[in-house]
Amino acid sequence: MAPVKSNIRIYSTKTCPYCVKAKTFLSREGFTFEEVDLTDRPDEIEKIKTRTGHRTVPLIFVDEKFVGGYTDMMSQIQSGDLVLQR
């Protein structure tokens, strides 16, 4: 049985350099993801930040589990704690 493709969602803003880094990495590596742009949605930003306890974007979820931001995602990938499926 083939591995199931990872469901990746990134909450971002247009002016966030780490959002760009996360999206660039995922695209370059061939992963598809859903982007939720929070640029003009301050109420949504507060809701998601309250839910995660994370105060900055990007907010990255894989298979509905909160991974963290760009640095968190990269650290978990490098350590093998996060394995993404294409």
At residue 4, the pLDDT reads: 82
Which residue in 44, 65, 81, 32 sits closest to 57, CA to CA? 44
* pLDDT over threshold 70, residue 1: no
Instruction: For residues 29 and 9, give the distance between their C-alpha atoms in angstroms, rounded to a whole number.
Output: 15
Please state the φ and ψ torsions of residue 26, each to the nearest 5 degrees: -60, -45
Here the tokens at position 70 are 């760009």
- Indicate the pTM of the whole model: 0.92
Can you tell me the distance from the alpha carbon of 38 to that of 57, in angstroms, rounded to the nearest whole number?
9
Q: Rounded to 10 degrees, what is the CA torsion of 66, 68, 73, 76?
A: -80
pLDDT tens per residue across span 24-74: 999 999 999 999 999 999 999 899 989 999 989 999 999 999 999 999 999
Q: What is the pLDDT of residues 2-35, one digit of tens each?
A: 678 999 999 999 999 999 999 999 999 999 999 9
Spelled out in words, what is the top-level CATH class assigned to the domain 8-79? alpha beta
pLDDT at 83 over 90: yes
